Amino acid sequence: MNIRLAETTDVEQLIKMRWDFTLEDDVSGKIQDSEYSKFHTECESFLIESLASDEWFIWVVEIEGKIVSHIYTELVQKVPRPGRVTYPFVFMTNVYTVPGYRGTGIGSKLLSTINKWAKEQKYEFIIVWPSDQSVDYYSRNEFEHCKGAMMNTIN
């Protein structure tokens, strides 16, 4: 098992995993295979730009050349405040493990690596919006519910 940052050579696997991840939750069947080409183009562009940036860090677990788990993290810069050094915080999204590897501890090992990285970099905190099914996973891995955020759903 190799935990590492994604590289451009991983783009095709990451696109397919994102597609599969989305289809798992598409109980309505709204997403059609015919949409894959358009999605592929958009996702490929996003991934290439993200991997070249200093804002996105895409973490993967690789086993025998196959990516079996990933977590996307984005640094969010904060406005400086007088009297203290201002560090960014980490927005975590697209947390996914291939079904055959779930429940093996791989996701927790990946999350532990990210927690350690964030502490070493002195990022202020990591934030994630968990699904109802993933709350226990995050709770087991040093995350706690917070209060204070508000949201305006635009669409």
Residue 131: which pLDDT band, with cuts at 50, 70 and 90?
confident
> Tens of pLDDT along 13-66?
999 999 999 888 877 777 776 688 999 999 999 999 999 999 999 999 999 999
Please give the structure tokens belonging to residue 85. Answer: 């050094």
Helices 11-24, 36-52: crossing angle, 10 deg rounding: 130
Whole-number percent of the chain with pLDDT over 90:
78
> Residue 152: is its pLDDT beyond 90?
no
> Tens of pLDDT along 3-17?
999 999 999 999 999
Pairing of strands 66-76, 56-63: antiparallel
Burial pattern 2-15, b for ≥16 Cβ within 10 A else e, equals: eeeebeeebbebbb
Amino acid at 126: I
Q: For each of the domains in the chain, give its residue range(s) and CATH number, in order of start.
A: 2-139 (3.40.630.30)
CB 91 within 8 A of CB 65: no
- Give 123's contacts (C-beta < 8 A, 6+ positions apart): 75, 87, 88, 89, 90
